[in-house]
Structure 1
Amino acid sequence: MDEALKHELGRQGVIATTMQELYNWGRKSSLWPLNFGLACCAIEMIATTMARYDLARFGAEVFRPSPRQADLMIVAGTITKKMAPQIVRLYNQMPEPKYVISMGACAISGGPFKQGYNVLKGIDRYIPIDIYIPGCPPRPEALLEGFMELQKKIEVQPLTGDNRPRHLNAAEPSEFPIPKFGEHDLEPSKNPDVWHPPLVNISLAGNDDSGIA
């Protein structure tokens, strides 16, 4: 429909939309986060729900105590290898469509504790991430920005075709393997379905070893 006509109808009290727009509007406006926090980033997440920032303005009215009532996991804090299996288990228990925000440097890459033997170097090794929010810790404004970016992502998702979201593709898994403690580390060390490490090619030209392709 022509946007000018759509705008004019809206002024007359007539809302013209499509099933896709209505479906995505309902999903993006009623995200229910899981009541779940790990470390200091969780304090910033809690502050985002308080009166000053009021995350409820964006539809995240109530943090749900059960993963079966939530569709958004905010991984906020340091992920130890002891906690990683529990995060994947909680994710598997969430109904589709579900989303994940990786909040803070620790959840993204291990942060300042990356060299620790007990710290996982990013939860995206095991579950798919929709939004990354860098910082140590990121402020509530950053979480609000990440939340709005997730809403924008949901708003434009097609319901059909090759670009449809994962939860509408029967070939895509809804649950992922839960890592277990092996002899030396978590097994598997990563989920190959979601973790694709970046490839860096270093070309050496003569005596100059600074070339990175």
Structure 2
Amino acid sequence: MSLKSFSRSKSIHLMLCYTGGCNGCDIEIVNCVLSPRFDLEQYNVFLTWNPREADILVVTGPVTHHNRKPLEEIYAAVPEPKIVVAAGSCALMGGVYKNIHGDIPSEEIDGPVENIIPVDAKVPGCACRPQDVIAGVVSVLPKLLDAD
């Protein structure tokens, strides 16, 4: 077993990537890891702000035009296997930022996330519930752990 696979089997690092929106989902995701109620750190699930350390990229927001390129750069920096969880209705379909008329293209919103980068798990909600975020992260663990 390599050092990398040993380390991955002992801890999971989530990187939270905000791509626009209201930050409601970001608060719930941080709540999963840091709050005493869910406290995922006790299970060795940690937040990181370095894409080179990330095992799972958790993306929130509708992907604004301004944030598209940074999202692509962060995704490129995440090591293989590149695992992405799209969290919240904005990340899944544009949420309240989506053009409700459908006949006028939005110049500001490039999302949803799956139009920009591949998505492995989708967590619905506005804002997404911590229990659903945890379920979404757990659903992609086999892909992460089987890759090594």
How does the TM-score come out when normalised to structure 2? 0.78
Structure 2, unmatched stretches of 5+, are: 100-105
Q: Which residue of 2 aligns with 1:122?
A: 112
Structure 2 CA distance for aligned equivalents of residues 44 and 84 of structure 1: 23
Q: Which residue of 1 aligns with 2:39?
A: 54
Question: Are 2:123 and 1:138 aligned?
Answer: no
Structure 2 CA distance for aligned equivalents of residues 28 and 77 of structure 1: 29
More strand by share: 2
Question: Are 2:28 and 1:41 aligned?
Answer: no
User: For each residue in 1:103-125, what CA deviation from the matched residue of structure 2 results, as whole angstroms up to 9, or x when unmatched?
Assistant: 01111111121114311231111
- Shift in Å at residue 26 of structure 1? 6.2
- SS in structure 1 at match of 2:59: strand
Structure 1, unmatched stretches of 5+, are: 1-18, 160-213
Question: Are 2:133 and 1:149 aligned?
Answer: no
- Provide the identity percentage: 28
One-letter amino acid matched to 2:127: P
> Cα gap change, 1:158/1:90 in structure 2, threshold over 3 Å: closer, same or farther?
closer
Would you say the 8 A contact 1:28–1:154 is kept in 2?
no
- Shift in Å at residue 154 of structure 1? 3.9
> Cα gap change, 1:28/1:147 in structure 2, threshold over 3 Å: closer, same or farther?
farther
Q: Which residue of 1 aligns with 2:103?
A: none
Structure 2 CA distance for aligned equivalents of residues 41 and 158 of structure 1: 28
User: For each residue in 1:145-173, what CA deviation from the matched residue of structure 2 results, as whole angstroms up to 9, or x when unmatched?
Assistant: 11111124445x477xxxxxxxxxxxxxx
Residues 181-196 of structure 1 mapped to structure 2, 5 A cutoff: none
User: For each residue in 1:25-57, what CA deviation from the matched residue of structure 2 results, as whole angstroms up to 9, or x when unmatched?
Assistant: 864652211243343211111111121111224
RMSD between aligned alpha carbons?
2.3
Equivalent residue for 1:70, pick from 50, 54, 67: 54
- SS in structure 2 at match of 1:51: coil
Equivalent residue for 1:109, pick from 87, 93, 100: 93
- SS in structure 1 at match of 2:52: helix
- Shift in Å at residue 76 of structure 1? 1.6
More helix by share: 2
Structure 2 CA distance for aligned equivalents of residues 55 and 100 of structure 1: 18
